[in-house]
């Protein structure tokens, strides 16, 4: 077990040389540089600190922060599309920074609604603070809790636990921790500075794909934080259906899915560029190649359509829970089509895609991570089905009541 210190690479706002204008434009401007470094980071499993430096300097990290607080005022749709653009060049960097952006977006939405979250949003805009998440635990449709504990001691909580899949662990400055309140059973979301005594990063991330996300474990040993650090309290019973949780998931899943649609974009382009040049596809019958390309285009269309239509449904939702379910549906549909797109791209490119030097080889490994973002199948399917049936039952009850009134 190897423990490493957090590498805080924040820099003062005065050192930034670019203003935020358009997150999508920033992503497109940076992705070629990231693409050049991606094979090395993938091979070594190293974290792309230099990419984060560029993202910070370009204003990408503060893109969702409201303009009046020094950010780019990017909304959900812009950030999700920007993540797709960034994922085209370097999926690992895009997925890592995703764990910062979805929290910033949700916090910014809270600020616009009630004025909440101003201090952390200003720190993100002014100091380049990176937010981390430890939410990659089992999300279920019913009762759920976490083994991480929070014990109230005066005006402080003492946090103990170990979190896994903490993406961008080497770069984050503050991490939001889900911990069970020992007194109430509520799930608390607590902001913990990575510099706090008792916090350590344990290098565990050695995986098939997304190798440069730095998704190590984070250990909390008798970590003391002010009680005021609790940002959200979720009920011990069925926390996944709480509107506060739903508002965060509404941001998390479309941004995450955007990364994988970006992978599908890249895989399609690589496949089309490879037509006729593969080691076992150069002499394929032209009609078969045409059929495979048609299947590729169809799968890619479904990935893109799921992402865009899903975003529209989130915006149309009447409440946070319906928006969350739309986001879950978006994620499941988009990543299923993205995986199929990558598989078809490999068939079209032929044996050359099997070599480690092939971009498609890396994309094939990276896209497999899509199945592990909570809520994942089959829990995600259960949540979609439960909400759909509940809505159907509610509609039937309304119709029955109207019929009685009319009669």
CATH number at residue 40: 1.10.540.10
Q: Rg (Cα) of the chain, in Å, rounded?
A: 22
Task: Tell if the pTM clears 0.85, that is, is over it.
Answer: yes
Residue finishing a domain among 234, 257, 282: 234
- 306 shares a domain with 380: yes
115-173 per-position pLDDT tens digit: 999 999 999 999 999 999 988 776 677 778 899 999 999 999 999 999 999 999 999 99
Residue finishing a domain among 203, 234, 265: 234
Torsion of CA 334, 338, 344, 350, to 10 degrees: 180
Q: How many domains does the chain have?
A: 3
258-294 per-position pLDDT tens digit: 999 999 999 999 999 999 776 666 678 889 999 999 9
336-381 per-position pLDDT tens digit: 999 999 999 999 999 889 999 999 999 999 999 999 999 999 999 9
CATH assignment at residue 247: 1.20.140.10
- 211 shares a domain with 89: no
Look at residue 373 and tell me if it is in a domain. yes
Residue finishing a domain among 234, 269, 302: 234
Q: 51 in helix, strand or coil?
A: helix
- 302 shares a domain with 167: no
CA-to-CA distance for 391 and 396, rounded, in angstroms?
9
- 388 shares a domain with 252: yes
Contact 103, 197 (CB under 8 A): no
51-73 per-position pLDDT tens digit: 999 999 999 999 999 999 999 99
CA-to-CA distance for 350 and 276, rounded, in angstroms?
9
Spell 336-368 as b/e; 16+ CB within 10 A means b.
Answer: bbbbbbbebbbbbbbebbeeeebbbbbbbbbbe
Examine the pLDDT at 182 and tell me if it is beyond 90: yes
pLDDT-derived band at 407 (thresholds 50, 70, 90) equals low
- 280 shares a domain with 213: no
Domain ranges, residue 116: 3-130
Contact 291, 363 (CB under 8 A): no
């Amino acid at each position: 077990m190897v423990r490493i210190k957090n590498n805080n690479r924040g820099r003062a706002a005065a050192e930034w040389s670019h203003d935020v204008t358009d997150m999508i434009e920033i992503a497109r401007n940076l992705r070629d540089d990231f693409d050049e470094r991606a094979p090395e980071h993938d091979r070594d499993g190293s974290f792309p600190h230099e990419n984060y430096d560029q993202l910070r300097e370009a204003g990408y990290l503060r893109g969702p922060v409201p303009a009046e607080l020094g950010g780019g005022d990017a909304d959900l749709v812009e950030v999700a599309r920007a993540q797709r653009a960034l994922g085209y060049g370097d999926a690992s960097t895009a997925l890592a920074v995703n764990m910062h952006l979805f929290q910033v977006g949700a916090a910014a939405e809270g600020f616009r609604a009630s004025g909440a979250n101003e201090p952390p949003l200003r720190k993100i805009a002014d100091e380049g603070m990176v937010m981390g998440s430890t939410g990659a635990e089992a999300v279920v449709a019913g009762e759920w809790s976490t083994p991480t504990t929070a014990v109230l001691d005066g005006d402080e909580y003492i946090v103990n636990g170990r979190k896994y899949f903490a993406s961008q662990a080497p770069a984050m400055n503050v991490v939001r921790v889900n911990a069970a309140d020992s007194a109430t059973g509520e799930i608390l979301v607590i902001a913990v500075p990575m510099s706090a005594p008792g916090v350590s990063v344990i290098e565990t991330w050695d995986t098939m794909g997304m190798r440069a996300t730095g998704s190590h474990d984070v250990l909390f040993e008798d970590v003391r934080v002010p009680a005021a650090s609790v940002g959200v309290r979720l009920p011990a019973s069925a926390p996944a259906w709480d509107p506060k949780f739903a508002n965060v998931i509404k941001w998390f899943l479309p941004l995450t899915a955007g990364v994988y649609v970006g992978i599908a974009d890249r895989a399609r382009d690589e496949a089309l560029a490879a037509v006729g040049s593969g080691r076992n596809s150069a002499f394929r019958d032209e009609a078969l190649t045409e059929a495979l390309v048609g299947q590729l285009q169809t799968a890619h269309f479904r990935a893109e359509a799921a992402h865009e239509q899903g975003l529209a449904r989130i915006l149309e939702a009447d409440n946070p829970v319906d928006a969350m379910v739309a986001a879950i549906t978006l994620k499941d549909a988009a990543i299923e089509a993205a995986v199929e797109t990558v598989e078809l791209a490999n068939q079209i490119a032929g044996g050359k895609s099997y070599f480690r030097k092939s971009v498609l080889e890396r994309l094939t490994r990276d896209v497999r991570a899509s199945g592990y973002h909570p809520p994942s199948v089959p829990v995600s399917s259960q949540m979609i089905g439960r909400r759909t049936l509940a809505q159907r039952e509610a509609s039937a009850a309304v119709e029955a009541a109207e019929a009685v009134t009319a009669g």
